[in-house]
Structure formats: C-alpha cells, structure tokens
Structure 1
Amino acid sequence: MQLLVLRLDYRSSTTIESLQRQLRQPNSKLALQLPHIPLLSYENTAPLQLKTALEPIATQTAAPSFHTSDIGFSKEGAQFYLQIHPNEELDQLYSSLELAGHGFSNRADAQWQPYIPLIGDIPAPFWGPLFARLALEFNPLDGTVAALECWSVIGKRTTIEWSLFLDS
C-alpha cells in the first residue's frame, strides 16, 4: 500500500516527537511514525508513476499552514491523534491531489478530516491515563507543511519512496 502524507516543518515535528516519546510504553517494540498528516492511500500503485502525476501540484503549491488544539482518540487502532482545524489551504491541496491521482487505485475516505497521528496500538487499560497525560502535556500548535511524501507500508514497516518539498 502507498500512503500519501504531508510532512511537517522542523519545529512542529520536534514538538510532536517529544509528545510521542512521552506517550510511548516502555516495553513497546513498535517504531514511532514520523510526524505527518495522512492524505490518501493507494493499492498496487507504482510510487514513481504517482510522483509524476502529483509533482506539478506540489511544485505550484505554497506550504499550507495548520493549527491544532484538540486531542482525539480512535478505538479503531487504539490511536491518539491531534485534530487539525480545517482550513481552505489544506482542503484545496487535498482536493487537487485526490483529483490528480484519480487514475490510481485509491482508498479515499468519504469525508477527509486532517489529523496528526501520535501513537497507536495502546492497550485499553492505558487509554484514560495516557489521555490525561496528553491533556497536561499538549499545548496548541501552529505550523506549516514542509513536504508531500509517498510512503510504502507493508505490515508495520514503512519506507519513504519520495519527497516533494513545498514552497515556503
């Protein structure tokens, strides 16, 4: 599976990585994902063909900003995340990328909601304590998107296929 993501600026990434380390279980063997905003996923797609289709959009797009001040939790995947407040820049970028990639086998969500995953696969007894800890540690975050990336995901292993940096 190929996953199209937006990578965050350095300052935002270091803040999120710090939160991830604080939430990580001491005995966890799972690697933490790089801070990102998931966009679209594709099945059986050649990453370089996808890059060719999406590169014109990335080269013409200014780096969108984002703001997050809400913590979220999903029982599916037992995942904590930061909910991003919708803005026109992110919505337009998502729509453009979805349209440009329409020829590929896409698994688009019915209603895309931008978010930043923090940590997943949390055992149920830790949901409450970790949420309380996250609520104490997290402050609202403003940042910008630095790059569009394609990741290949096989099982729990992620490989970065390519990156397209957006104009600042």
Structure 2
Amino acid sequence: MQLLVLRLDYRSSAIIEHLQRQLRQPNVNTALQLPHIPLLAFEQTAPLQLKAALEPIAESTQAIAFHASDIGFSKNGERFYLQVQPNGALDELYNSLKLAGRGFQFGPELHWPLRIPLINKVPAPFWGPLFARLALEFNPLSGTGAALECWSVIGDRTTIEWSIFLDS
C-alpha cells in the first residue's frame, strides 16, 4: 500500500515526537511513525508513477498551515491522535490530490477530518492513564505541512519512496 502524507515542519514534528515518547510503553520495540497527516492511500501503485501524477500539484502548493487542539482516541487500532481542524487550504490540497490520483487504485478510505497519529496498538489497561497523561502534556499546536511524501507500507514496515517540499 502507498500512503500519501503531509509531513510537518520541524518545530511541530519535535513537539509531536516528544508526545509520542511520553506515550510510548516500556519494552515496546516498534518504531514510532514520523509526524505526519495521512491524506490518501493507494493499492498496488508504482510510487514513481504516482509522483509524476501528483508532482505538479505539490510544486504549485504553498506550505499549508494547520491547527490541532483536540486529542482523539480510536478503539479501532487502539490509537491516539491529534484532531486537525479543517481549513480551506487543506481541503483544497486533499481534493486536488484525490482528483489527480483518480487513475490509480485507491486503498482504504482515511479519516476525514484529518488526524495526526501519535501512537497505535495501545493495550486496553493503558487507555485511561495514557489519555490523562496526554491531556496534561498537550497544548494546542499550530504549524505547517512542509512536504508531500509517498510511503510504502507493508505490515509494520514503512519506506519513504519520495518527498516533494512545498514552497515556504
């Protein structure tokens, strides 16, 4: 599966990585995902063909501001996330990418409005304590989406296929 993501600016990424480390359980070996906003998923798609189709959009897009002020939790996947407040620029980018990617096989529908994943596969006994900890640690976050990336995801392994930095 290819996952199209919006990678976040350095400052926002550092804050999110700090939150991820606070939530991480001891004795867990799985790597944390790089801070990002998932946009679209594709199945059986050649990453370079996808890049060719989406590159004109990414190259003409300015860095996109985002704001996250709410913490979310989903029992499906046992995951914590930050809820990104919708805005016109994010909506326009998403719709443009979806239209440009219509010639490819879309994968599972991702969550909309957008989310910034923090941590997955949290065991049930830790849900309440981790949510309380996150509520104490998290302050509303504003930042920018700095790059469009394509990730190939196989099982728990993620490989970055390509990145296109957005104009600042």
Normalised to the residue count of structure 2, the TM-score between the two structures is: 0.98
What is the match of residue 37 of structure 2? 37
- Kindly report structure 1 stretches of 4+ aligned residues shifted beyond 4 Å: none
Q: Secondary structure at the match of 2:143?
A: strand
Number of corresponding residues: 168
Answer yes or no: is 1:162 the counterpart of 2:167.
Answer: no
What is the match of residue 79 of structure 1? 79
The 1-side partners of 2:31 and 2:62 are apart by 31
Shift of residue 110, structure 1, vs aligned partner: 7.8
What is the match of residue 11 of structure 2? 11
Shift of residue 27, structure 1, vs aligned partner: 1.0
Shift of residue 125, structure 1, vs aligned partner: 0.3
Where do 1:1-168 residues align within 5 Å?
1-107=1-107, 109=109, 112-168=112-168
The 1-side partners of 2:75 and 2:128 are apart by 12
Q: Identity across aligned pairs (percent)?
A: 74
Q: Which runs of 5+ in 2 are unaligned?
A: none
Shift of residue 74, structure 1, vs aligned partner: 0.5
The 1-side partners of 2:110 and 2:122 are apart by 26
Q: Deviations over 1:125-160 (max 9, x none)?
A: 000000000000000000000000000000000000
Q: Deviations over 1:95-116 (max 9, x none)?
A: 0000000000002528722110
The 2-side partners of 1:147 and 1:52 are apart by 16
Q: Secondary structure at the match of 2:39?
A: strand
Q: Which runs of 5+ in 1 are unaligned?
A: none
Amino acid aligned to 1:67: H
Normalised to the residue count of structure 1, the TM-score between the two structures is: 0.98
Q: Secondary structure at the match of 1:158?
A: strand
